[in-house]
Amino acid sequence: MIPINMPKVGEEEAQAVLEVVRKGPLTNALGMGPKTVEFERNYAKFAGVKHSVAVNTGTAALHAAIAAVGVKQGDEVILPSFTFVATAEAVVLAGAKPVFADINPETYNLSPSAVEKAVTKNTKAIMPVDLYGFSADIKPLKEIAEKHGLALVEDAAQAHGATYEGKPAGAFADAACWSLYASKNMTTGEGGVVTTDNDQIAETLRMIRTHGEKAKYASLMLGNNYRMSEIQAAIGIVQLQKLPSFVSKRRQNAKQLTKILEESGRLVLPWESEDRQHSWYLYTARLKDGTQEERNRLLEELKKKEIGAEAYYVNPVHLMPFYRENFGSVKLPETDKASRQVFSLPIHPGVTEEQVEYIGKTVLSLI
């Protein structure tokens, strides 16, 4: 089976972990061990911002960022439903209400016009997602945020290597949240990062990740235990060095696959432009005018042929029982339509040119 995604971890990462195990420390009470500090410095440079705050999961990054920009009980946060549930989860954990807005059908990302319509007197923040690794249309969203005095927190969990107008994804937001889960473009096994240019947000994030402390036993605010371990950071240092080559291979595979699949008139294919470069975390195509049943049959047949194709976010968050029962129903026609038609194909760095050819030709034969 060609898996949909696969971590690419080698001897360099193993040696980095061994060094930490042998020499220590394994962690730091304030989340600022030497490996973590080094990783944060390197990641901030990669992201093109002043501050990088490492945490133990991508979900922790989302929750910490939402809390750090001041979202609290009674506030509303506008976000897409076509995303992994952690995006909405972070809002609810902060005591706020998730307000789901529809997507742009061409990018699968939050629609600025839908966001504008969803703003109320209780809105505190906008939370776009760089879905599949393609940057949200952040400039219009930033204009809406500034117009209404809102925070802009970008869920860049899948966007390592994506750019928007020549800058790394997340650079235009008040804070950007990244996942380092095993399937992502780079990994620390589990882990996350929040990046920001705002000194106050960065300081607050560092307190939130370690029980609200600046110094031990002196909590200044409500916090949590979101520290990144030194083992995670050691892996992250090595993975970050390899990230450009990982993204380059993904882009190469994506271009090859697109060239093959363009032969069919039944597919809407992913794209990028000069001002918005994809991270290619997931290569997501769409069955034009297809039904959910057709899409699901295609996935079944691809798996029979040892291709680990998947359909992500088939049950958008606004339809999940907990969110529907607690926050009410909402009509999101573009979200619902996309969830029935999209499917993702393997293009990670472990996929060879021969395998890309096999994937593409197999899809063509099945549709």
Give me the sign of the Cα torsion angle 101, 104, 105, 107.
Answer: negative
Q: DSSP character for 212?
A: T
Phi, psi of 55 (to 5 degrees): -135, 180
The residue count of the chain comes to 367
Give me the sign of the Cα torsion angle 186, 187, 188, 190.
Answer: positive
Residue 112 to residue 118: CA distance in whole angstroms: 10
* Contact assessment for residue 170 and residue 133, using Cβ atoms and an 8 Å cutoff: no
Token pair for residue 302? 């691809």
Residue 299 to residue 343: CA distance in whole angstroms: 8
216 given a catalytic annotation? no
From 282, 326, 280, select the one nearest 98 (Cα to Cα): 326
Instruction: Spot the catalytic one: 35, 124, 142, 184.
Output: 184
From 50, 183, 71, 56, select the one nearest 127 (Cα to Cα): 71
Q: Which residues contact 73 (CB under 8 A, 6 or more apart)?
A: 95, 96
- Residue 78 region, left (φ>0) first, then alpha (ψ -120 to 50), else beta? beta
Q: What is the set of active-site residues?
A: 184
